[in-house]
Amino acid sequence: MAAEVMLINEIEAKAASMAIDLNIDFNSIQLPRGEDCGIVSDDEDVYHDDQLEFDSGFGNVIVVDNLPVVPSEKFEKLEGVIRKIYSQIGVIKEDGLWMPVDPETKKTLGYCFIEYNTPQEAELAKEKTNGYKLDRAHIFAVNMFDDFDKYMRVPDEWAPPEIKPYTPGENLQKWLTDEKARDQFVIRAGTDTEVLWNDARQSKTELVYKRSYWTESFVQWSPLGTYLATVHRQGAAVWGGANTFNRLMRYAHPQVKLIDFSPGEKFLVTYSSHEPSNPHDANRVVINIFDVRTGKVMRDFKGSADEFTIGGAGGVAGVSWPVFRWGGGKEDKYFAKLGKNMISVYETETFSLIDKKSLKVENVVDFSWSPTDPILALFVPELGGGNQPARVSLVQIPSKVELRQKNLFSVSDCKMYWQSNGEYLAVKADRYTKTKKSTYTGFELFRIKERDIPIEVLELDNKNDKIIAFAWEPKGHRFAVIHGDNPRPDISFYSMKSSHNLGRVSKLTTLKGKQANALFWSPGGRFIVLAGLKGFNGQLEFFNVDELETMATAEQFMATDIEWDPTGRYVATAVTSVHEMENGFNIWSFHGKLLYRILKDHFFQFLWRPRPPSFLSAEKEEEISKYLKKYSKKYDAEDQDVSMLLSEQDREKRRMLKEEWEKWISEWRRASEEEKLERQRLRDGEASDEEEEYEAKEVEVEEILDFSEEVLFEE
Amino acid sequence: MRPILMKGHERPLTFLKYNRDGDLLFSCAKDHTPTVWFADNGERLGTYRGHNGAVWTCDVSRDSTRLITGSADQTVKLWNVQKGTQLYTFNFGSPARSVEFAIGDKLAVITTDPFMELTSAIHVKRIAGDPTEQTEESVLVIKGPQGRINRAVWGPLNRTIISAGEDAVIRIWDSETGKLLKESDKESGHKKTITSLTKAADGSHFLSGSLDKSAKLWDTRTLTLIKTYGTERPVNAVAMSPLLDHVVLGGGQDASAVTTTDHRAGKFEAKFYDKILQEEIGGVKGHFGPINALAFNPDGKSFSSGGEDGYVRLHHFDPDYFNIKI
């Protein structure tokens, strides 16, 4: 906006002519509503209120309709009744209840307005009392004031919707076409969030986009890498674009805490939890499911936190996230929620329950989807002191047919691990020993893709070993287990195939006494990083499972996070701000060579940008790996060129630095030479400056420290 | 070569200083007794008894006859280096943090801490040739910087004084009038307390180390920033090789946090950097605790480090150190 420039004395003259006092009392200034002009209020309460108010400022007002019409003498009685009903739900603001009266008949008009302290209370009131029967003739119709506004604006006559001309969007996947085939990642340190290229050839990063205060809590990539989601007080937003990051869509959800994308990134689930007005109630949970591209709310779920915390994983800690687990592969067809004695499976065509009812399973505590197929694995614990055994079953969706079931005896706990292609399911079962005093662990291995889903039981060589970690090889048939009670546990590798019999699991090897407590398979399989986080101070071992050999051992001291890049070429290890010192990240090659290291204070997040799955068929991929030599030639040559160029640039840079330094130092010498006489004068004419070498002379000094004479008497 | 461990202090080291010939090493510590060592073999030559508080700093005259020490007992003392006797005591109202002789050894600059109602100050004292003629009064007193002034040194030809301290600003003062001439740039300068400052052998540039985990190299005349050396822990001490283009940074996490973490977490190493290329060359481990003091022998062939652990470690370089190429 172009403002007219006015000199201050002109303003003063003008003010004087209009008799306006220019001495402004700053306390009297009120900023426009909803606008802080960049000034942050230091008043905690004001700040809090701002957070809760919606844009229009009437989010906390409801309209109650279908009230009895009463003459003025009964007005107070009715008002008392209404106040009684509505103050149970939340705190009505002072003068927050207004029941208009017909000025002629002095009768009420049959509706009233109620203003609450918070929009949450208003919403709750609407939910609870809409349809409330005061008596037979008076059933309350409650609406949000804001909605009223909205409905009023609906035009009476239908007009054909305007057809917007199609504007081609940006190519949101342009980053995949990078000429140097690099990958991107996002980091958050201090107030800055940066998206960077991993330029491993040049051992450095290249900035794509940087922004301060981009998010208020964290950032998250969508599962296929198309979007970067940021989280704000007012809701979530997604960003993307061909060459930079523009905001593509906003999803209003006040005080959103957590977000989750569906695997095919069609939908975004947002979650918030609100303090109840009554301290005895559980927190109120609001969950919205948005369509990522249109930004429309497809379905919302509201309720007390209790309704969302059923099941084993959530427990005392509260809602286990994600509440809704997406299944059915990348098509985003189904999502499911664990409830008390049931699993509610929804489908995304209508966003309603399949067959309009939940899947009833008594006492179910955990379930998980196959990553590729619409199959649910669910776990029911032991009941009645062992009379009814624990059970794992596989259920097909949407038919709800049980494909396979296995009863497990004296089981204390179960964990389910799917292989990434959905070919295998491993169920880790902790069983009581006969005395019930301790537990031991075994695995039930399901072969999902084979006929009748055969199950195999696997026990470790020493079955009393505690299992520290378990991980499937992505897209592969192997898995790794860290087990043992020692401070240095063992790591075993197993294959679902053995050399002579394809249907049997076999052990490949056991590595004894490793400093590791976490497993990180390369997304391409074959390689694995055995990491010792936390207590082991960041020990890293890069292991080749094909050759069963260690490629490298390394350490990033105090490492907290490890993540493979989506292609399996690089590994990032990071120290986040849980530690005070050494914050930053390292980039390693897949075989454990440190490529570069970047230090950043207050380092919070490191996330590789995911890639969508390859379009190549399995046969084509095999063909490429067969003729890899042919393809790699071109890249080897490029690599060499780059490294030549790099060392050339490096040399040049160093030469420049040295030259610059020499120039500066010679300049200084000249000045220093000019001052030489002056310096001599300061030293009383002592000619030597620091330039001259001193001479070492051997001087013998004899000093008499003490002299005494004693007379010795001789006998 | 294996370092020589010199155990003579009972409390953390605070400062190290070689004489001009490089045959003597003076060490100050929080115990009350500055000590002099043979810089070659680490043999203890003697101590200077008389202070009644932690000794923060010292300097030795060009001819190695006088030692000046500053202490938390609110005094600065002049000593006879050879005999270990006190020659004179300057009294202040607050602890003395840094001292340095001017070119010609006829002046000394002393900084004092803020204490009670007193603010921090830079004092210039005239040093008499004959100790019996020594007087107490200051030639010049400069006040202004907020907080402690951790180091003040003389500029070229004693015309300026360079000071640095808790307010993270480096200032150049006129040593005649006490006028502020230059201040380091807020943007490019340090962000946290400057803990140490050391001049190059020819005085052309100086190096400052700070708790903001960096050290910076500055032009002594213009106060322009020449280089920055980043590290991963707070820097307590800095030194520059007079022989090669190397700088050494020492430090580590706060002493109070040491007991709660692995000893490797503190990174109590002396780190070597190429002065011109700003690249890390290597590190020398050893201290159990942060490094508080570093000094290079004027011949550039050895250096010593003093730690919170109370040890002085004297390192003679191996021959291959002098052939490092990067």
User: If you write DSSP's letter for every residue of B102-116 in order, what string do you get?
Assistant: PTTSSEEEEEE--BT
In percent, how much of chain A has pLDDT > 90? 18
pLDDT digits (tens, 9 = 90+) for A611-632: 988 888 888 888 888 888 888 8
As a dihedral over the C-alpha atoms of residue A295, residue A300, residue A303, residue A306, rounded to 10 degrees, the angle is: -80
Helix (H) or strand (E) holding B191: none
* Residue A597 contacts residue A553 (beta carbons within 8 Å): no
* Residue B301 contacts residue B307 (beta carbons within 8 Å): no
Mark A441-464 as b/e (b = at least 16 C-beta within 10 Å). bbbbbbbbeeeebeeeebebeeee
pLDDT surpassing 90 at residue B297:
yes
The whole-number pLDDT of residue A35 equals 52
Query: What is the DSSP code (8-state) at residue A330?
Result: G
In one letter, which amino acid is A382? Answer: E
Say yes or no: ipTM exceeds 0.85: no
Name the pLDDT band for A46 (thresholds 50, 70, 90).
Answer: very low
- How distant is the Cα of A707 from the closest Cα of chain B, in angstroms? 19
pLDDT surpassing 60 at residue B266:
no
Edge-first strand order for the sheet with A297-304 is A258-261, A267-274, A284-291, A297-304
Name the pLDDT band for A688 (thresholds 50, 70, 90).
Answer: low
Which three-class secondary structure state does DSSP give residue A4?
coil
pLDDT digits (tens, 9 = 90+) for A284-296: 888 999 999 888 8
How many beta carbons lie within 10 A of that of residue B300, not counting itself? 18
Angle at B19 between CA B13 and CA B20, to 5 degrees: 145
Suggest the residue from A204, A558, A656, A690 to mutate for an interface test with chain B (most B CBs closer than 10 A).
A690
**Cα Rg of chain B (Å, integer):** 18
Q: How many helices (H) and strands (E) does chain B have?
A: 0, 28
Helix (H) or strand (E) holding A636: helix A628-674
The whole-number pLDDT of residue A697 equals 62
How many beta carbons lie within 10 A of that of residue A25, not counting itself? 7
Phi, psi (deg, nearest 5) at residue A80? -60, -40
Which residue in B103, B226, B253 is closest to A683 by CB distance? B103
The whole-number pLDDT of residue A316 equals 40
pLDDT surpassing 80 at residue A52:
no
- Find the mean pLDDT for residues B19-33: 93
- How distant is the Cα of B23 from the closest Cα of chain A, in angstroms? 11
Query: What is the DSSP code (8-state) at residue B3?
Result: P
Tell me how many residue pairs between chain A and chain B have CB atoms under 8 A apart.
60
The whole-number pLDDT of residue A695 equals 54
The whole-number pLDDT of residue B267 equals 64
Which three-class secondary structure state does DSSP give residue A28?
helix
Q: When comparing pLDDT for A198 and A538, which is higher?
A: A198
* Residue A271 contacts residue A287 (beta carbons within 8 Å): yes
pLDDT surpassing 50 at residue A179:
yes
Angle between helices A628-674 and A618-626 (to 10 degrees): 60
* Residue A329 contacts residue A383 (beta carbons within 8 Å): no
Which three-class secondary structure state does DSSP give residue B107?
strand
Helix ranges (DSSP H) in chain B: none
The whole-number pLDDT of residue B262 equals 54
Q: CB A557 to CB B201 under 8 A? A: no
Q: CB B265 to CB A558 under 8 A? A: yes
pLDDT surpassing 60 at residue A185:
yes
Q: CB B265 to CB A581 under 8 A? A: yes
Q: Token digits for A26?
A: 């700053």
Give CA–CA dist A91/A111, Å, rounded.
20
Which residue in B204, B221, B233 is closest to A581 by CB distance? B233
Query: What is the DSSP code (8-state) at residue B221?
Result: T
Task: State chain A's mean pLDDT as an integer.
Answer: 82
pLDDT digits (tens, 9 = 90+) for A67-84: 888 888 888 888 888 888
Which residue in A557, A579, A684 is closest to B104 by CB distance? A684
Using CA atoms, how far residue B258 sits from A209, B262, B266, B288, B309, in Å, is 38, 8, 7, 9, 11
- Cβ contacts of B232 on chain A, cutoff 8 Å: 581-582, 584, 599
- How distant is the Cα of A532 from the closest Cα of chain B, in angstroms? 15
Q: CB B21 to CB A694 under 8 A? A: yes
Helix (H) or strand (E) holding A307: none
pLDDT digits (tens, 9 = 90+) for B108-142: 999 999 988 889 999 999 998 888 888 888 899 99
The whole-number pLDDT of residue A49 equals 39
Residues belonging to chain B with any Cβ–Cβ distance to chain A shorter than 8 Å:
21, 62, 102-104, 106, 156-158, 201-205, 213, 219, 221, 226, 230, 232-233, 245, 253, 257, 262, 264-267, 276-277
Q: Which residues touch A339 (CB under 8 Å, ≥6 apart)?
A: A307, A310, A358
Q: CB A599 to CB B62 under 8 A? A: no
pLDDT surpassing 70 at residue A209:
yes
Q: CB A537 to CB B103 under 8 A? A: no
Give CA–CA dist A527/A545, Å, rounded.
6
- Find the mean pLDDT for residues B59-86: 93
Query: Looking at A33-47, A177-191, B215-229, B254-268, which range is the least confident one?
Result: A33-47
Angle between helices A119-129 and A75-87 (to 10 degrees): 110
Give CA–CA dist A56/A258, Å, rounded.
25
Q: CB B103 to CB A657 under 8 A? A: no
Task: State chain B's mean pLDDT as an integer.
Answer: 89
Which residue in A582, A599, A679 is closest to B157 by CB distance? A679
Which residue in B106, B204, B213 is closest to A665 by CB distance? B204
Which CATH code, of 3.40.50.10260, 3.10.105.10, 3.40.50.2000, 3.30.70.330, is assigned to A61-153? 3.30.70.330
Q: Which of A6-15, A262-271, A694-703 has the highest mean pLDDT?
A: A262-271
- Cβ contacts of B202 on chain A, cutoff 8 Å: 668-669, 672, 690
Domain ranges for chain A, please list them: 61-153, 215-360
Q: CB B106 to CB A682 under 8 A? A: yes
Q: When comparing pLDDT for B78 and A309, which is higher?
A: B78
- How distant is the Cα of B309 from the closest Cα of chain A, in angstroms? 21
Give CA–CA dist B124/B159, Å, rounded.
12
Phi, psi (deg, nearest 5) at residue A670? -60, -50
- Cβ contacts of A678 on chain B, cutoff 8 Å: 157
- Cβ contacts of B257 on chain A, cutoff 8 Å: 580
Pairing between strand B13-18 and A111-116? unpaired
- How distant is the Cα of B220 from the closest Cα of chain A, in angstroms? 10
The whole-number pLDDT of residue B194 equals 93
**Shortest CA distance to B161 belongs to which of B190, B212, B189, B197?**
B197
The whole-number pLDDT of residue A44 equals 38
Largest CA distance in chain A: 148
Helix (H) or strand (E) holding B130: none
* Residue B78 contacts residue B59 (beta carbons within 8 Å): no
Q: CB B253 to CB A581 under 8 A? A: yes
Q: Which residues touch A686 (CB under 8 Å, ≥6 apart)?
A: A680
Which three-class secondary structure state does DSSP give residue A207?
strand
Helix (H) or strand (E) holding A470: strand A467-472
Q: What is the DSSP string of A137-169?
A: TEE-EEEEHHHHHHHHTS-SS--PPPPPPP---
The whole-number pLDDT of residue A19 equals 56
Rounded to two decimals, the pTM is 0.64
- How distant is the Cα of B277 from the closest Cα of chain A, in angstroms? 7
A538 → chain B, closest CA residue: B265
Q: CB A557 to CB B102 under 8 A? A: no
Q: CB A672 to CB B202 under 8 A? A: yes
pLDDT digits (tens, 9 = 90+) for A214-272: 999 999 999 999 999 999 988 999 999 888 898 889 999 988 989 999 988 899 999 88
The whole-number pLDDT of residue A42 equals 43
- How distant is the Cα of B219 from the closest Cα of chain A, in angstroms? 9
Q: Which residues touch B52 (CB under 8 Å, ≥6 apart)?
A: B32, B71, B73
- Find the mean pLDDT for residues A307-324: 59
Q: When comparing pLDDT for B65 and A339, which is higher?
A: B65
pLDDT digits (tens, 9 = 90+) for A353-370: 888 888 888 888 888 999
Q: CB A675 to CB B156 under 8 A? A: yes
Which residue in A537, A661, A664 is closest to B262 by CB distance? A537
pLDDT surpassing 80 at residue A490:
yes
Q: When comparing pLDDT for A322 and B45, which is higher?
A: B45
Q: What is the DSSP string of B66-102?
A: EEEEEETTSEEEEEETTT--EEEEEE-SS-EEEEEEP
The number of angstroms, rounded, from the C-alpha of A673 to the middle of its chain's C-alpha atoms is 62
- Cβ contacts of B263 on chain A, cutoff 8 Å: none
- How distant is the Cα of B233 from the closest Cα of chain A, in angstroms? 7
Q: CB B104 to CB A682 under 8 A? A: yes
A654 → chain B, closest CA residue: B277
pLDDT surpassing 70 at residue A5:
no
The whole-number pLDDT of residue A36 equals 52
In percent, how much of chain B has pLDDT > 90? 60
Sign, CA torsion A334/A337/A342/A344: negative
Q: Strands, DSSP E only, in A538-639?
A: 539-544, 549-555, 561-564, 570-575, 584-589, 594-599, 603-608
**Shortest CA distance to A419 belongs to which of A460, A471, A379?**
A471
- Cβ contacts of B230 on chain A, cutoff 8 Å: 599
In percent, how much of chain A has pLDDT > 70? 88
Suggest the residue from B202, B220, B269 to mutate for an interface test with chain A (most A CBs closer than 10 A).
B202
Which three-class secondary structure state does DSSP give residue A227?
coil
Q: Residue B26 pairs with which residues in a beta bridge?
A: B17, B36
Q: CB A557 to CB B264 under 8 A? A: yes
